[in-house]
Chains A and B, each alone.
Chain A
Amino acid sequence: MTAWRRLHGGVRTTRGLLSSRWATDQHTWLCGHLTLCQSLSTSSLLRNDFYKDLEAQLAAMRKKAADALPGSSWTPLEINPNLPPERADVVIVGGGVMGWSVAYWLKQRERVREGVKVVVVEKDLTYSQASTVLSAGGIRQQFSLPENIHLSLSSAEFMRNINEHLGVLNEDPVDLQFNHSGYLFLASEDVAHIMEENYNTQRYAGAKVSLLSPAQLKEKYPCVNTDGVALASYGLENEGWFDPWTLLNAFRRKAMSMGVIQCCGEVTDFKYTVNKVPTADGDHLDCRRIKSVKQVQMPNSREYQPVECAVVVNAAGAFSAKLTEKLGIGSGPKGSIAEFPLPVEPRKRYVYVVHCPDGPGLDCPFLIDYSGVYLRREGLGGNYITGASPEEAEEPDTSNLEVDHQFFEDKVWPRLAHRVPVFEKLKLTSAWAGFYDYNSLDQNGIIGVHPLISNMYFATGFSGHGLQQSPAVGRAVAELILDGDFKTLNLHGLGFRRILAQEPMLERNIV
């Protein structure tokens, strides 16, 4: 009865508190309609508190009741909670934002409760090297490929309604800390025409973007030096930056509340069969089918456990090519499809945090200069983050995540100070590095099934824009798995065909 008594207590205290709370709330919210709303809002206040209490109490009671029932997972024997199940419908390799987004959407779209058994395997639960948490957290619609624009638009819509998607009963609502400041791209004379074409594509796709002449740019952003700028484009809506951790955790929390199993371990191998499939020209293809994710290796122990599964999702980010290697992709005979490895590799990118008290403050857009340097505000205390991509020939070593400070001195700061002169005086306060899941063919995501692995689905290779596209990509992959085709957005263009044909789907960049 204790629980019930507590419930009663809750109601009584709410009543007791009511008079004082009422006065303050009245003051703030209801100034206009004093007399009319009085009785109404009293009861609604009471009701709200009552429901909150009730919800919490019910959750606790239900948990206890469920624990005590036969068939619950509660056992008196201590077992390794990270041990994966022996069988699952879908095993997702990689618990970054992509992996958890796919897991959430699989659960969201399953037709019967507990219809799909989903396991997410992540090797590092601290996410010390995952791109997701090391990214700059930006979202934009200023792309040139319609696929990318649509992916970002629908992800923005997802984030706008994030609590309808990822809210969990009895838990705090998700607060992405979304900062609504648009991207400001600057184009030089040579590339201004590309910017204009991109602008038209973006408007056509429904993105709210505006073009600015150098004079307008000067007027709107006085801090920007317009030397060499021929045209600028600025995103009015659905652009800005947010906290990647929050998004990752929100996906994970929701997916787990829907029954997705998380396990900690590294996928090191697969057990698969090979079928010879004849082709039209008399040849044959070696088609692989994964039977089980062979070794899920526990950290700090020598336990191994194979997980039998019907479908594997490769969401291992920068290291997804390692998984396909295990299936013989990239080591096939010359001239065969298996000759080409998955074109995704880690590429190290530095992010520098600088302090500049005279910086543009709240007015700071996500600036992208045609020299490749970017800049955005970080918090409200006069901090900014900046960086640039290195030249192809000067790609840094990817064996570690050490930061090259010389790169800031030589390549970033001079260009930044040229573009926004207040940054001539700044202090480098910290820096970090992360891996792009870099698609060396065309720097765009790969979504779909590999032609030689009939049950491995890919969501990888997003290079610099995977975080922002993750909500929409997760849905697309779930549609592929459960419905057999894309339902919401047509993303065939981002599939494997272009990779096999070696026809890159390049963004028409102005940088």
Chain B
Amino acid sequence: MFSAQFSLSIPSQSLHTCCQRSALLLVARGLGSSSSVSPLPLHRRFLLFLNQRFYDVEMLLSWRAHMKSRAIEKKNAYYGYTRKHYGPYIASAYYILNMKGGFRFAGQTDWFRANQRGKFSWDFLNHRDAVLEEVDMSYTVINYTGLDNLAGQKSLRTLSLRGCSQVDDWFLARLHMFQDSLEELDISHCPRITTGGLAALRNLKGLRRLDVSSLPRISSPGLVIILLEEMLPQCQITATGYDHSLRQDSEEEKVDFMQGQQ
């Protein structure tokens, strides 16, 4: 599309020189007498056109981003109606399946899951009073608002958020709602999590297992993992996917640093 416009308007001139020239022209005019009103020359009209048009393109790009986040918000909207009519457990289950996640009720061995195309069976409706024990939201677009749909799960023991693109520090800071029951948490491969969010995991004192592998935004993973282990002494922390040499480096760095301080 753009190439067509370009070649039509200025087949032989580069945009750059074109800009320069018109700028020069402008200067010359500005310094000389005030110009008479004449129809704008072609290249000036073209520049005007570009300026107006590219604002639109910019708008379009931001609009595109906006629509994308709107879609995610919509998926994470609060399931108030289901909650009112079917209770919190069914509402949560329904939300999880809609997000293409999976869960297991307490006292059962089978998992309920949506298939690749998002289809799932409605059998879970038969378990109105069953409570959720394990939830797998890996690679879904669950976000801060979506967490409302899991609120009230007092027996949630395992939660996997592996590779969730929308899970950020604010999300982690909200996980205290499961502080009495949560034992296993997987937040590996989440692109938004930083150290500032990991600090909030201190509220999950019952945690026995934590997976923090491959978090791209953790800057000195070696040090952070040591600090995490100190913070959650009863918890077994898995942290793979970090450059081992790097890890040692930062450990040494910490030691060096401390010695430097003393």
- Are A180 and B197 within 8 A (Cβ)? yes
- Are A380 and B261 within 8 A (Cβ)? no
Are A208 and B176 also in contact (CB < 8 A) when A66-B51, A362-B202 are? Answer: yes
Q: How far is the CA of A29 from the CA of B214 in the complex (A)?
A: 10
Q: Which chain B residues (1-54) contact chain A, with CB distance < 8 Å?
A: 2-3, 6, 13-16, 19-20, 22-23, 26-27, 30-31, 44, 47-48, 50-51, 54
- Contact check: which of A32, A69, A164, A180 meets B173 at CB < 8 Å? A180
- Are B199 and A180 within 8 A (Cβ)? yes
Q: Which chain A residues (375-393) contact chain B, with CB distance < 8 Å?
A: 380-382
Asked whether any CB of chain A lies closer than 8 Å to the CB of B203, the reply is yes
- Are A2 and B173 within 8 A (Cβ)? no
Nearest to B58 among chain A residues (CB) is A169
- Are B220 and A62 within 8 A (Cβ)? no
| Binary CB contact string for chain A from 228 to 249 against chain B (1 if under 8 A, 0 otherwise) | 0000000011101000000000
Interface size class of B (residues with CB under 8 A): 35 or more
Are A3 and B195 also in contact (CB < 8 A) when A28-B189, A28-B214, A362-B227 are? Answer: no
Q: How far is the CA of A281 from the CA of B79 in the complex (A)?
A: 59
- Are A180 and B51 within 8 A (Cβ)? no
- Are A361 and B231 within 8 A (Cβ)? yes
- Are A181 and B116 within 8 A (Cβ)? no
Asked whether any CB of chain B lies closer than 8 Å to the CB of A203, the reply is no
- Are A36 and B116 within 8 A (Cβ)? yes
Residue of A208, A236, A362 ringed by the most chain B CB atoms within 10 A: A362
Contacts of B228 in A (CB 8 A): 362
Asked whether any CB of chain B lies closer than 8 Å to the CB of A178, the reply is yes
- Are A236 and B176 within 8 A (Cβ)? yes
- Are B54 and A58 within 8 A (Cβ)? yes
- Contact check: which of A31, A164, A357 meets B258 at CB < 8 Å? A357
| Binary CB contact string for chain A from 355 to 368 against chain B (1 if under 8 A, 0 otherwise) | 10100011100000
Asked whether any CB of chain A lies closer than 8 Å to the CB of B99, the reply is no
- Are A65 and B257 within 8 A (Cβ)? no
Residue of B22, B31, B199 ringed by the most chain A CB atoms within 10 A: B199
A116: min CB distance to chain B, Å:
20
- Are B261 and A160 within 8 A (Cβ)? no
- Are B116 and A68 within 8 A (Cβ)? no
Asked whether any CB of chain A lies closer than 8 Å to the CB of B174, the reply is yes
Contacts of A429 in B (CB 8 A): 261
- Are A240 and B26 within 8 A (Cβ)? no
- Are A32 and B138 within 8 A (Cβ)? yes
Q: How far is the CA of A263 from the CA of B139 in the complex (A)?
A: 47
Asked whether any CB of chain A lies closer than 8 Å to the CB of B69, the reply is yes
Asked whether any CB of chain A lies closer than 8 Å to the CB of B57, the reply is yes
Contacts of A29 in B (CB 8 A): 163, 189
B199: min CB distance to chain A, Å:
5
Q: How far is the CA of A61 from the CA of B46 in the complex (A)?
A: 13
Contacts of A76 in B (CB 8 A): 27, 30-31
- Are B15 and A69 within 8 A (Cβ)? no
- Are A237 and B173 within 8 A (Cβ)? yes
Asked whether any CB of chain A lies closer than 8 Å to the CB of B172, the reply is yes
Q: How far is the CA of A365 from the CA of B58 in the complex (A)?
A: 43
Q: How far is the CA of A66 from the CA of B49 in the complex (A)?
A: 10
- Are A363 and B230 within 8 A (Cβ)? yes
- Contact check: which of A65, A68, A177, A180 meets B54 at CB < 8 Å? A65
Q: How far is the CA of A181 from the CA of B202 in the complex (A)?
A: 9
- Contact check: which of A4, A51, A68, A380 meets B3 at CB < 8 Å? A4
Contacts of B47 in A (CB 8 A): 65, 68-69
| Binary CB contact string for chain A from 28 to 65 against chain B (1 if under 8 A, 0 otherwise) | 11011100100000000000000100010011011011
Are A169 and B62 also in contact (CB < 8 A) when A33-B116, A74-B23 are? Answer: yes
- Contact check: which of B2, B31, B196, B257 meets A381 at CB < 8 Å? B257
Asked whether any CB of chain A lies closer than 8 Å to the CB of B109, the reply is no
Q: Which chain A residues (45-100) contact chain B, with CB distance < 8 Å?
A: 51, 55, 58-59, 61-62, 64-70, 74-76
Asked whether any CB of chain B lies closer than 8 Å to the CB of A427, the reply is yes
Q: How far is the CA of A505 from the CA of B18 in the complex (A)?
A: 64
Q: How far is the CA of A265 from the CA of B22 in the complex (A)?
A: 35
Asked whether any CB of chain A lies closer than 8 Å to the CB of B81, the reply is no
B230: min CB distance to chain A, Å:
5
Residue of B19, B69, B144 ringed by the most chain A CB atoms within 10 A: B19
Nearest to A36 among chain B residues (CB) is B116
Asked whether any CB of chain B lies closer than 8 Å to the CB of A220, the reply is yes
Asked whether any CB of chain B lies closer than 8 Å to the CB of A501, the reply is no
Asked whether any CB of chain B lies closer than 8 Å to the CB of A179, the reply is yes
Contacts of B196 in A (CB 8 A): 177-180, 240
Contacts of A363 in B (CB 8 A): 199, 202, 230-231
Asked whether any CB of chain B lies closer than 8 Å to the CB of A280, the reply is no
Nearest to A64 among chain B residues (CB) is B19
- Are B195 and A380 within 8 A (Cβ)? yes
- Are A237 and B16 within 8 A (Cβ)? no
Asked whether any CB of chain A lies closer than 8 Å to the CB of B119, the reply is no
Asked whether any CB of chain B lies closer than 8 Å to the CB of A23, the reply is no
- Are B15 and A380 within 8 A (Cβ)? no
Contacts of B51 in A (CB 8 A): 62, 65-66, 69
Are A362 and B19 also in contact (CB < 8 A) when A61-B50, A236-B203 are? Answer: no
Task: Give 12 new A-B contacts, CB below 8 A, not counting A64-B19, A65-B50.
Answer: A1-B14, A3-B15, A3-B16, A28-B241, A29-B163, A65-B47, A160-B144, A169-B58, A180-B169, A237-B174, A363-B199, A380-B224
Minimum-distance CB pairs A-B, first 7? A180-B200, A180-B173, A362-B227, A62-B54, A179-B196, A1-B14, A363-B231
11 contacting pairs across A/B (C-beta < 8 A): A4-B3, A51-B61, A62-B51, A64-B19, A68-B22, A180-B197, A237-B176, A362-B195, A362-B198, A362-B227, A380-B224
